[in-house]
Structures are given as C-alpha cells and as structure tokens.
Amino acid sequence: LVQFSFIQTLRRLLRRPLCTAVMEQHEMMNEAELNQNASNATGWVASKDMYRPAAVDMPRNTRQCFVMIIYDTKESTFGKFRNTMVLNIPVFHAYGNGEFFGMSKCLRCIEGCFPTGCALGIISFDDHDQAVKCIESRTELREKMWLGGVEMYVVPLCNPVRHIGDYPFFQMDMYDVKNGRNFIKYLNTVEEMVHRKGGLIVAGTTQAGRWRGIRRPYFILLHQWVTVEQLEAYNNEVSPILRDAGAACSSRVIFEMTTGNVRCFQ
C-alpha cells in the first residue's frame, strides 16, 4: 500500500510540469487571439481581458484635465454659478494654471437618462494632482450641499482642448460596458468617425475621478465640435452602430458651452 501511494505521488509530480506547460500555452494562445480580434486601432492598447476591459483608455497627448461640475439650475442660477467661478479665478490659476473654461445650461440628451434641469461647468487644469488640491482648498467646493448638491468629476484629457469660441459644442458620453470586445471595436469606429465628421476627441478614459455624485460610469468620452449640425450628423451615424454592437449602455448629452451670456442652440 505504501509503495502504491508512493508511485501515485511520483506520477502526479511527473505529470505536473506538462499540465502547467499546456495550460500556459493555451493561455498564451487565448491572449494572442483576443488581442488580434479585439482591436486594430493604434489609438489605444487593446485589453488583455475583453470581458473585464482595463486598457481601453486613449493615449494621453497632454497632462491637462477637466473638473466637470454638473449642478441643478433649480438650486442655483446661471449667474450665481458664474460669479462663483469668476471670484475663484486667481485661486484656480495658482493651482496648475487652472482656469474657468466655460459653462452651459443648454443641453440636449440624445440617449439614456440625464436630468433636464441641469447645467455643466468646467474648470481646466494643467495637472491632475493640482486640480485635486485646488478642489480640496476651496470650502464651497468641498461642501456637500454646495449649490444644492452637485456632481463633480476629475477627467484626464487625451488631447489639448480647443477654445470654446472656436469649438463651442461638447458631447459627453458615459458608458457602462456590457461586452468588452465589442466595446473596443465600437471605440475604433468612433475615433475614426469623429475625426471624419470634423470633431475632436478630448477625453476617452476609465480613470475619471468621481469627486461627488451618484453616477459611476465605466468609460467617459468627451468630444468637441464647431457646429451642432456636425454633431447631429455624427450621432445619426453612430447611434445604430452602438445599438447593433450591444457593447454598452450609454448616456449621451450635448452641451453648448459659453463663458458669458447664455445662448441656447435650437
């Protein structure tokens, strides 16, 4: 009995390296297949696990970031928010050359759910860490019920943003991914289509910091446009692609940005 047990143990030990080698080879083949089929884009690195995508972020060509503030216009007027931003301009500048980029209470939700009575304000910074330090330094930004309660996200940019005088329209897409592989393919299509239609992608990231708010989007995509007609042409073409791919649920919202008086798009 002892001899039989010893022989069985010896056999298991002898078989183990072979099993391990086969498993490693199988994993390498699966990984190669995923990387080959998942994405042909040069814009970002394909995820090694398409069912839990972790490397879909677009490569960063800038260190800039946005602090995006979504607030309820029933709790705060356009002028009150703008005055708060203007008063803090010297403080913003002291942290990473921050500046009040712009704001809008003109929005159009084209897919998903987004509160109709909300507006967007943006502060831009040259550095993510300085942006966080600036938020922490301002009492009003830290207060839970500032402006009746706001949503606030720190979003790293992938490309330098254009002045809103030239590119006044923004679209913000928030995605909750259902199928990682299809989502990669969808992003490949989006990148090419935005550039072809005349837009500029300024952010495409899973690394957005949720400072305050209830939304927990997996991926945030920001793109900037010259005219609303360009945006409409883009969305008319991209909407069925996203729907047919079944890659993600999304909320897509168009904002017209301004630093002065409100002028809503038609």
pLDDT on residue 27: 39
pLDDT tens for residues 199-256? Answer: 999 999 998 888 777 777 889 999 999 999 999 999 999 988 888 777 777 789 999 9
Instruction: Tell me the C-alpha distance between 262 and 198, whole Å.
Output: 24
Question: Using CA of residue 157, residue 109, residue 166, residue 87, what is the dihedral sign?
Answer: negative
Q: Name the nearest CA neighbour of 168 among 205, 200, 131.
A: 200
Buried b (16+ CB within 10 A) or exposed e, 71-85: bebeebebeebbebb
What pLDDT, on the 0 to 100 scale, is given for residue 266?
A: 46
173, pLDDT greater than 90:
yes
Residues in the chain: 266
Whole-angstrom distance, CA of residue 93 vs CA of residue 124: 10
SS3 52: coil
Mean of pLDDT over the chain: 77
Q: What is the per-residue pLDDT for 84?
A: 86
Q: What digits encode the pLDDT tens for the residues 136-150?
A: 888 777 777 777 778
- Tens of pLDDT, residue by residue over 14-60, are 454 433 333 333 334 344 333 333 333 333 333 333 344 446 888 99
What is the C-alpha separation between 163 and 27, in angstroms, rounded? 47
Strand order in the sheet with 200-205: 200-205, 219-225, 169-177, 248-258, 99-111, 118-125, 65-72, 151-156, 209-212
Going from the C-alpha of 123 to that of each of 65, 176, 177, 178, the distances in angstroms are 9, 25, 27, 31
Does residue 88 contact residue 43 with C-beta atoms inside 8 Å?
no
